């Protein structure tokens, strides 16, 4: 029994890692694919390079926003295994389409591949639901380990992708190699999932109908917003993505460092996030209840971001920069755990699908916010991130006070 559980967890974790690795190895280099003289696309049709890049960047998260709740709800209806296997197969085909488009210079086909890759990345929701349902360890610990995998993927994916964008690879295949590598990793994940994953979830009776999907999704959102948790999760996640998309710009603008030096900070952010995941898996989310740590982690992250905004030396930046990454690695699985606990067993896939859809929405919004903030206001996005973290964390004060009053009232009686 334990061997089967370990195999299932391994295949689910590998499926999660494969998506993030593929994103880092292939999709993170869109600016090189589109915005350089070496671009394989001879024509961008109706768009100039900047507009084409913006559209390409938006395709993946847009696909994720649409695919996550659909695939999550589908997995609630017919089971995790079927949807996960077909989702992995769809990812392989999507990344293969991106590789073919890069080889032949088909820009519209490349956009379609990006969108489909995002759509099938929505299978992460059912992978997370299946991880939470496996009867071993605590739910928070298992979800916290995803932060470790995500951090490792953010480091290794871009590294191997950048290696494959150098000679001799580009001389023989152009820019297709990162997408092909992503295909191979996802294909290995598909094989492992097919042979090792044993689905313990019993699907609810009934068919997958659009009306039921819309109704069920609406009920979940109402439940989340009544508890205020989903809104707070959204604020925190938007603040986190603002940090990730604006750090390089902030460093270059304020400290006059080079682009290559700024990339080092991206790797440092991923390492800190990974370390936070390890701490959460081995200690914090094992010892403390998920909801209890949300307030303190978000307050600590917001204070660090305010300090980051006021940093006058790069050395200060190194210190303050680690704190929001460490805390977010605990905050994200804690929110996942609490939201999952407030959802029925028959709606776990849908809830995790909505969580991943929120990821896509925040990615799009953070990029848009970065373009509309005043460019002369150095670090405005970092300041906004700090405010969002603080607002999300401060909202837990009334809840804590309410609990304290109830405890005092009970003791007095």
- Considering the domain architecture, whether residues 115 and 4 belong to the same structural domain is answered as yes
Residue 403 covered by a domain: no
- Considering the domain architecture, whether residues 178 and 228 belong to the same structural domain is answered as no
- Domain range for residue 114? 1-137+153-196
Q: Rounded distance, CA 129 to CA 8, Å?
A: 13
Percentage of the chain exceeding pLDDT 90: 38
For the segment 13-26, what is each residue's pLDDT rounded down to a tens digit? 999 999 999 989 98
Residue 210 covered by a domain: no
- Considering the domain architecture, whether residues 7 and 116 belong to the same structural domain is answered as yes
Which is nearest to 110 in space by CA: 95, 128, 129?
95
- Considering the domain architecture, whether residues 327 and 363 belong to the same structural domain is answered as yes
Residue 163 covered by a domain: yes
- Considering the domain architecture, whether residues 242 and 191 belong to the same structural domain is answered as no
Residue 213 covered by a domain: no
Residue 148 covered by a domain: no
Q: Rounded distance, CA 137 to CA 159, Å?
A: 32
User: What are the CA-CA distances from residue 169 to residues 40, 271, 296 (Å)?
Assistant: 14, 28, 48
- Considering the domain architecture, whether residues 236 and 384 belong to the same structural domain is answered as yes
Q: Is the pLDDT at 407 greater than 60, yes or no?
A: no
Dihedral (CA of 73, 79, 84, 87) sign: negative
Q: How far is CA 62 from the centre of its chain?
A: 13
Q: Are 308 and 317 in contact (CB under 8 A)?
A: yes
Q: Rounded distance, CA 128 to CA 84, Å?
A: 11
- Considering the domain architecture, whether residues 300 and 336 belong to the same structural domain is answered as yes
Count up the domains in the chain and report the number: 2
Task: Please state the pTM of the whole predicted model.
Answer: 0.87
- Considering the domain architecture, whether residues 118 and 24 belong to the same structural domain is answered as yes
Q: What residue spans of 105-176 are helical by DSSP H? A: 107-120, 124-133, 139-164, 169-173
- Considering the domain architecture, whether residues 5 and 75 belong to the same structural domain is answered as yes
Higher pLDDT, 15 or 227: 15
Residue 212 tokens read as 């039921």
Residue 201 covered by a domain: no
Q: What residue spans of 197-228 are helical by DSSP H? A: 210-226
| pLDDT band at residue 216 under the 50/70/90 scheme | low
- Considering the domain architecture, whether residues 234 and 362 belong to the same structural domain is answered as yes
| pLDDT band at residue 272 under the 50/70/90 scheme | very high
- Considering the domain architecture, whether residues 265 and 160 belong to the same structural domain is answered as no
For the segment 313-352, what is each residue's pLDDT rounded down to a tens digit? 888 888 899 999 999 999 999 999 988 887 888 878 888 8
Residue 215 covered by a domain: no
Which is nearest to 368 in space by CA: 45, 8, 62?
62
| pLDDT band at residue 215 under the 50/70/90 scheme | low
- Considering the domain architecture, whether residues 270 and 121 belong to the same structural domain is answered as no
**CATH number of the domain that residue 106 is part of:** 1.20.1250.20
Residue 204 covered by a domain: no
């Amino acid at each position: 029994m334990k061997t089967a559980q370990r195999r299932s967890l391994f295949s689910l974790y590998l499926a999660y890692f494969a998506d993030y690795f593929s994103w880092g190895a292939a999709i993170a280099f869109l600016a090189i694919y589109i915005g350089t003289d070496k671009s394989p696309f001879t024509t961008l049709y109706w768009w100039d390079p900047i507009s084409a890049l913006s559209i390409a960047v938006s395709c993946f998260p847009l696909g994720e926003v649409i695919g996550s709740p659909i695939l999550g709800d589908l997995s609630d209806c017919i089971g995790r295994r079927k949807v996960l296997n077909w989702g992995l197969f769809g990812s392989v085909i999507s990344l293969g389409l991106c590789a073919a488009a890069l080889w032949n210079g088909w820009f519209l086909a490349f956009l379609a591949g990006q969108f489909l890759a995002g759509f099938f990345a929505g299978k992460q929701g059912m992978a997370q639901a299946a991880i939470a349902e496996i009867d071993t360890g605590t739910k928070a610990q298992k979800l916290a380990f995803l932060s470790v995998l995500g951090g490792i993927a953010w480091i290794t994916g871009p590294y191997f992708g950048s290696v494959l964008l150098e000679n001799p690879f580009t001389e023989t295949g152009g820019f297709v190699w990162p997408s092909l590598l992503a295909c191979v990793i996802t294909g290995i994940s598909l094989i492992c999932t097919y042979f090792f994953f044993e689905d313990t979830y019993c699907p609810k009776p009934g068919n997958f109908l659009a009306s039921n999907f819309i109704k069920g999704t609406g009920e979940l959102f109402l439940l989340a917003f009544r508890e205020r948790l989903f809104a707070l999760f959204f604020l925190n996640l938007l603040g986190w993505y603002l940090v990730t998309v604006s750090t390089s710009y902030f460093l270059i603008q304020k400290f006059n460092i080079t682009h290559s030096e700024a990339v080092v900070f991206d790797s440092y952010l991923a390492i800190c996030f990974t370390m936070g995941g390890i701490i959460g898996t081995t200690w914090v989310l094992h010892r403390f209840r998920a909801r209890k740590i949300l307030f303190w982690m978000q307050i600590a992250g917001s204070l660090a971001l305010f300090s980051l905004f006021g940093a006058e030396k790069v050395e200060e930046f190194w210190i303050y920069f680690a704190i929001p990454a460490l805390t977010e690695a605990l905050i994200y699985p804690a929110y996942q755990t609490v939201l999952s606990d407030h959802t029925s067993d028959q709606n776990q896939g849908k809830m995790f699908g909505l969580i991943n859809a929120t990821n896509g929405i925040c990615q799009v919004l953070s990029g848009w916010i970065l373009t509309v903030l005043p460019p002369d206001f150095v670090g405005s996005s970092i300041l906004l991130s700090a405010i969002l973290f603080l607002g999300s964390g401060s909202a837990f004060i009334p809840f804590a006070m309410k609990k304290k009053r109830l405890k005092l009232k009970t003791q007095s009686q």
